[in-house]
């Protein structure tokens, strides 16, 4: 493996600093402040064995995904990308080619979402690989969308379709045969799409009152909005958006797509609430799945099946 300095030089070449920002190469990154903007910061740590298994995920996918889950946190607040920081603890026997692929995945998603890599740290690890990503975003002062703004009467909405990532994980773990819907589902699991553009558009609409990204499944994530906002919700299970690939996969393997959609994690779609009069003109594709009510509990309608049994709460 390359030495630390050579490795960092390689990263520096792959990730040039954007105009007006000093990124990799000094003791600190220097990012000019803009009046009237809030800074958004989030960090996430991934540990080999706990969050991923080397034999399951390719280095490219891991590079992409470790950035994606962080970009999604900025998306969830309606933030505009500023940059990311990448700290890695590398086992000594990690092949150079593995690291190159990891960085390519990280670079491709960074370019796709205009999230420049501005710095990080590189150290060695006695055995396991650890990855810590920190992201910075910005939003007009006071205009980032929190979990605490939901109001009784709001419609509850989600972007995209739910449960695909969970189905992809099932396909990987059970090593099912590669029928035509499987690659799509596996990509949704390993190469998720953070909704950064959508988050910004939603945040610009005064009718959008609360928002978060769906990382643990809407069944459990919705709870956070309800608790922070001190409200309840009624959700119609028939309205949960499911992809045709998910339906096909579940039919083939005797799984319940709704269960995967409500309880499966890592969709990285956005869950938000919006005033009913503002919903029709939202410029982001979405599905209305229910509404916010007074109280503090969730009522699930539209299914005879008791989903209470296996929900996280
Ligand atoms: P210091 O010892 O002052 O912390 P380093 O030698 O750790 O400096 O890092 C030198 C430069 O390279 C810094 O700008 C740092 O942010 C950057 N850097 C180090 N490791 C990484 C990494 N894994 N990804 C991105 N930038 C990195
Ligand atoms: Mg350092």
The phi, psi pair for 159, rounded to 5°, reads -90, 160
Q: Could you tell me the pLDDT band of residue 303, with boundaries at 50, 70 and 90? A: confident
Helices assigned H by DSSP within 89-181: 96-112, 164-173
Strands 117-125 and 37-47, sheet pairing = unpaired
Asked whether 119 lines ligand 1 (CB < 6 A), one says: yes
Mean pLDDT of 269-279: 98
* Residue 175 predicted with pLDDT over 90: no
- Check residue 110 and give its pLDDT: 98
Share of the chain above pLDDT 70, in %: 97
Asked whether 103 lines ligand 1 (CB < 6 A), one says: no
Q: Provide the 8-state DSSP code for 79.
A: P
Q: Could you tell me the pLDDT band of residue 22, with boundaries at 50, 70 and 90? A: very high
Q: Could you tell me the pLDDT band of residue 34, with boundaries at 50, 70 and 90? A: confident
Nearest CA to ligand 1 atom 5: 121
Strands 208-213 and 270-274, sheet pairing = antiparallel
CB contact at 8 A, 290 and 156: yes
- Mean pLDDT score across all residues of the chain: 94
Mean pLDDT of 213-225: 94
- Check residue 1 and give its pLDDT: 62
Asked whether 122 lines ligand 1 (CB < 6 A), one says: yes
pTM: 0.94
Helices (H) and strands (E) in the chain, counts: 9, 10
Mean pLDDT of 73-84: 98
- Check residue 313 and give its pLDDT: 40
Query: In angstroms, what CA-CA distances link 231 with 77, 141, 146, 151, 295?
Result: 20, 26, 14, 7, 5
Distance from the alpha carbon of residue 28 to the mean position of ligand 2, in angstroms: 9
Q: Please, what is the angle between helix 96-112 and helix 4-14, to 10°?
A: 30
* Residue 2 predicted with pLDDT over 80: no
């Amino acid at each position: 493996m390359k030495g630390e300095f050579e490795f960092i030089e390689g990263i520096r070449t792959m990730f040039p600093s954007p105009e007006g920002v000093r990124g990799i190469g000094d003791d600190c990154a220097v990012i000019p402040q803009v009046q009237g903007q809030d800074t958004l910061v989030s960090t996430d740590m991934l540990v080999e064995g706990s969050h991923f298994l080397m034999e399951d995920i390719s280095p490219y996918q891991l590079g992409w995904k470790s950035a994606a889950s962080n970009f999604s946190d900025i998306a969830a607040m309606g933030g505009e990308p500023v940059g990311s920081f990448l700290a890695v603890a590398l086992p000594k026997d990690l092949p150079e080619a593995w690291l190159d692929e990891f960085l390519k995945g990280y670079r491709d998603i960074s370019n796709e979402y205009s999230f420049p890599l501005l710095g990080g740290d590189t150290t060695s690890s006695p055995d396991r690989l650890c990855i810590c990503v920190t992201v910075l975003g910005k939003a007009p002062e006071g205009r980032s969308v929190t979990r605490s703004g939901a109001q009784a009467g709001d419609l509850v909405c989600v972007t995209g379709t739910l449960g695909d990532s969970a189905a992809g994980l099932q396909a990987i773990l059970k090593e099912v045969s590669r029928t035509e819907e499987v690659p799509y589902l596996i990509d949704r699991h390993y190469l998720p799409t953070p909704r950064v553009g959508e988050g910004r558009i939603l945040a610009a609409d005064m009718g959008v009152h609360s928002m978060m990204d769906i990382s643990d499944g809407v069944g459990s994530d919705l709870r956070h909005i309800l608790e922070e906002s001190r409200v309840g919700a009624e959700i119609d299970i028939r309205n949960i958006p499911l992809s045709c690939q998910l339906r096909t996969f579940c039919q083939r393997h005797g799984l319940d797509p709704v269960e995967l959609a409500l309880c499966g994690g890592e969709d990285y779609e956005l869950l938000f609430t919006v005033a009913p009069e503002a919903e029709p003109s939202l410029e982001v594709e979405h599905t209305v799945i229910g509404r916010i009510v007074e109280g503090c509990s969730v009522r699930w309608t539209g299914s005879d099946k008791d989903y209470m049994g296996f929900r996280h709460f």
